[in-house]
Amino acid sequence: MEGLPIDMSHPAVREYLSLVRLQVLTPLSLLINVATVIVCSVVVHPSAGEISKLYPTVISPRPSVIAAYVIAIYVAQIGYCILLVLVGKPETKKTLIKGSGFSLVLSNWVMALWAITWTVQWFLLSTILQGILLLLLLYSNVVLLIYHLPTAKRPFDTMLIHAPMRFFLVLQIGLMFPLSLFVTLGLVQTPTTPGPPIDPNAYQWAGFGVVLGTNILGLLVVVLRRDIVWCVAATWICISIWSLRPKPAPVYITAILFTAFHPLGLLASMIYSQVYRPSRISLPGDEHPGLHPNRRGCSSGNQNHREDRAAREVDEEAVWG
């Protein structure tokens, strides 16, 4: 590398190399993630879904609803990889490299490892991996929201960078990490094959606290930031929880209520922002004369004109001849 006629320390060169690494590593990590999840869900016995049935909890979701959610994340990540290859705007490059960047690569690898540990029933290790995944996604989303805000000028950045990362984060906060923690701590119900658990109300207040706490957090984000992506993701998670019956009443009712609260909160926040949008009212005396030099010149001209008229009106020669 030292013999190359290129200054490797130049910022533009370093940015280009980082982008090339992401163009290779991101599709590879996504492929590993998808392949591992498919193998652990279809090929291996017992599969990841069967493990979930062996260890039911009060917050266990309907598998088909969560499967559709994960597929949506994968489809969005495919668009993310296409954007990586076709990116042209400097702002988008910075968002990809410094915003999501290698956090998404590591997140895909960690999720693949989690699928393996979950299938072999190493629940403590799977919970640790879920915690690491949550921290990675939380870090990347905070960086995106602070330094690389979504903007209407770059809609593809919002659809293919911000949306997948937000969807991924909400899945970990609202479901995957609490679910793995419940199983690790032994907060599981007694399963029956086939059929619902023998004790569906076991640990209902722990489940109620998780569902209530995560959804209050999500509702605050939705209302304060008018976050459409978080609203859709959180509502999707709620539907996945209450659609699998039976559920204890505190968990079931809370999940149904927040299924309505998230879109209603978003709608109310949007209406409030439109109705009470702050506007600046300029009073006649607030304008600085230096901002309008033409007006000042016009005013001076009018004043001189009035002075001339006053002078002509008191001209003695004109009056007395």
Angle between helices 177-184 and 204-225 (to 10 degrees): 160
Domain ranges, ordered by start, for the chain: 11-275
Q: 3-class secondary structure for 282-299?
A: CCCCCCCHHHCHHHHHHH
Task: Give per-residue burial for 229-258: e unless 16+ CB within 10 Å, then b.
Answer: bbbbbbbbbbbbbbebeebbebbbebbbeb
- What's residue 198's pLDDT? 75
- What's residue 18's pLDDT? 87
Using CA atoms, how far residue 204 sits from 110, 187, 190, 209, in Å, is 30, 10, 14, 9
CA distance 91 to 153: 11
Which contiguous run of DSSP H or E holds residue 149? none
Q: Helix (H) and strand (E) counts for the chain?
A: 14, 0
- The DSSP letter of residue 173 is I
What string of pLDDT tens digits covers the 321 residues of the chain?
455 556 666 677 788 888 999 999 999 999 999 999 999 999 998 889 889 888 999 999 999 999 999 999 999 999 999 999 998 888 988 999 988 889 999 999 999 999 999 999 999 999 999 999 999 999 999 999 998 888 888 889 899 999 999 999 999 999 999 999 999 999 998 877 676 777 778 889 999 999 999 999 999 999 999 999 999 999 999 999 999 988 999 999 999 999 999 999 999 999 999 888 765 555 555 554 444 445 444 445 555 555 454 444 444 444 444
- What's residue 224's pLDDT? 94
> What is the identity of the amino acid at 315?
D
- What's residue 176's pLDDT? 95
